[in-house]
Structure 1
């Protein structure tokens, strides 16, 4: 007998949102999370229109909007010259909120819907498909056991051990770069995202609620920076003084791109970063995971032909990931360090693309439309 309808491995944004949507449909869920402490890092901050629709499906849109900052648009500059001014239309806004708060809102919502759904301190060693169900072999407090479910969803991140044990291919995709980010707490009021396409590499900045601002710089090579060296680099590239960094520490990360060879393995399904990795800048990975989670929730509540529904989930999600990865690869290429001649051609192309219908398409790509 199954312990629950759906067991979800990983209590990150993807696993929690899926659990909320399923619980609202009366599906019994259990979320198995290895960690026990709270992660206060801000990490992903951008919520695009499809991501906001996912939060609406989870029943927390209003709570999210009450804390988030709504951006008015984005500005692209190069050597102090404005290349593009893109304004978000009503219904197509991008919002920002530190991931720790988004995570807390999802946890709170799931606690309302299914108070006993989340089990922390649980390590899932292996997931075994068995006919029309699956078994998760788990350990908690040095005790081993298993949990049976109609479906086990694997949402344990980019370095998923379960994906590896299922021998699912993990294909590297084009698009790779190193970045460092730093959050400044007290920044001048501004509700626009700003991209500085500079000769030594892009500098991006995104406003946060409460007069905060996230700065991201592209590195020529991986380097562990201090807050002071980070601020000096921003100033040298853009002429902007980011102000008092307090005790904030820069975080180095690599934007890589991968995709699983398949997402459905019998009654085991991959979701989120365990299924595909894209550049995380702007919250793209989290939003893509939420889009897929809503699609998966529909498949898992399908009563007539679940296998066909899961096959459709796999096909559409892999296609959406491929589109998102192509867009991310283009964005990374546009922000790479460039010599004068290719940089001039790039700047002219951006000015042209920002006009009229092509500008609307550019804005749609920036806000993850069509995924």
Structure 2
């Protein structure tokens, strides 16, 4: 028996667990992976998310471990065409924090373990859900040979099991999806040259190249490509970066390679009886702009006090309905922002590139507009 079962032990599920455990809630987190993935994956943590993470006493450790990106520049044809400062976006966190997801998850898991060393159960894949209106029962099979299955009854079930959420399917919640004509390859390399602690967008005619600093002197490069690609090798990705930007990362320093074609999927509702979807299970957003993980943390921050009140016997039906509507609206805003980001980076003919560059320069040179855009890019 637990007060709350959370399915999914990624960054969103672990964060919600920490919030609830701090309030004395009995939590069981079921994670099917036996081990954490060690790729850098999601790296950007925005100011509103840092403020939320501070409620779980993990923000300071993350800031200490990460790189503070306090601004960015836009470059085209080897010339800077615009710049942006994040100084005005937050009083406490005037930056976007760059931190590998493996470190983010490690710090969150450490916090959960401090609060309850038995809360996280690895190697458990939920296969069945039953909601009788008062309690939710889940059955989970072991994902390792010889492991035992489990059956847990709880007052609430929270699904934080990612974009291909099995829980969403088991709960019978429909979702709408969009695909985009955008494809990317990316990799992490040792940083070189100038702007080592800035985000740099290379707005080139063949498509955007994005570059972000990472801890340990590394730098992520994201290159838009014309068609879906298999995961490139480090030499080919370095060649692509050099061809468009004039900068050649050293293939020998590569630590991660990936390719992806963005899509978005938004559940038609995030609440079903005593079950709630959060994070990518409720709303998958294109990773261009780095909003998805942050959006999930903000889901959890809003949901946690509602769950606590429900466990205390307070009526929360209307609050859950309003929560679902607000988070769906927040997902729509994030999806719109990601689509703007992708549009900005699509290939253009030379005359249109020049027009885009002039528009970027105009916004950059107008302080009020610059501040507004900075707030939009940092999920304010």
TM range (shorter): over 0.9
**Separation in structure 1 between the aligned mates of residue 2 and residue 222 of structure 2, nearest angstrom:** 42
Q: CA RMSD of the aligned region, Å?
A: 1.6
Contact 1:7/1:30 (8 A) holds in 2: yes
**Separation in structure 2 between the aligned mates of residue 152 and residue 169 of structure 1, nearest angstrom:** 18
**Alignment correspondent of 1:32:** 30
In structure 2, the residue corresponding to 1:363 is in which secondary structure? helix
Contact 1:197/1:203 (8 A) holds in 2: yes
Whether 2:176 is the aligned partner of 1:166: answer: no
Q: 1:95 aligns with which of 94, 97, 101?
A: 97
**More displaced 10-residue stretch of structure 1: 198-207 or 338-347:** 338-347
**Alignment correspondent of 1:309:** 319
**Alignment correspondent of 2:205:** 199
> What per-residue deviation string (whole Å, max 9, x for no partner) do you get for residues 316-347 of structure 1?
11000000000000110010111123323322
Whether 2:224 is the aligned partner of 1:218: answer: yes
Contact 2:309/2:316 (8 A) holds in 1: yes
**Separation in structure 1 between the aligned mates of residue 315 and residue 363 of structure 2, nearest angstrom:** 44
**Separation in structure 1 between the aligned mates of residue 254 and residue 217 of structure 2, nearest angstrom:** 17
Structure 2 segments unaligned to the other structure (5+ residues): none
**Separation in structure 2 between the aligned mates of residue 263 and residue 214 of structure 1, nearest angstrom:** 33
Map of 1:174-185 to 2, 5 A cutoff? 175=180, 177-185=182-190
Q: CA deviation at 1:143?
A: 4.0
**Alignment correspondent of 2:237:** 230
* TM-score, normalisation: structure 2: 0.92
Q: Measured at CA, do residues 11 and 40 of structure 1 come closer, stay the same or move farther in structure 2, by a change above 3 Å?
A: same
Contact 2:187/2:221 (8 A) holds in 1: yes
Q: Measured at CA, do residues 142 and 250 of structure 1 come closer, stay the same or move farther in structure 2, by a change above 3 Å?
A: closer
Map of 1:238-249 to 2, 5 A cutoff? 238-249=245-256
Q: 1:358 aligns with which of 356, 369, 372?
A: 369
Structure 1 segments unaligned to the other structure (5+ residues): none
> What per-residue deviation string (whole Å, max 9, x for no partner) do you get for residues 203-241 of structure 1?
000001121111110111112321111111111111112
**Separation in structure 2 between the aligned mates of residue 247 and residue 48 of structure 1, nearest angstrom:** 26
Q: 1:132 aligns with which of 131, 134, 138?
A: 134
**More displaced 10-residue stretch of structure 1: 242-251 or 94-103:** 242-251
Q: Measured at CA, do residues 103 and 176 of structure 1 come closer, stay the same or move farther in structure 2, by a change above 3 Å?
A: farther
Map of 1:112-123 to 2, 5 A cutoff? 112-123=114-125
**Alignment correspondent of 2:277:** 270
Whether 2:91 is the aligned partner of 1:61: answer: no
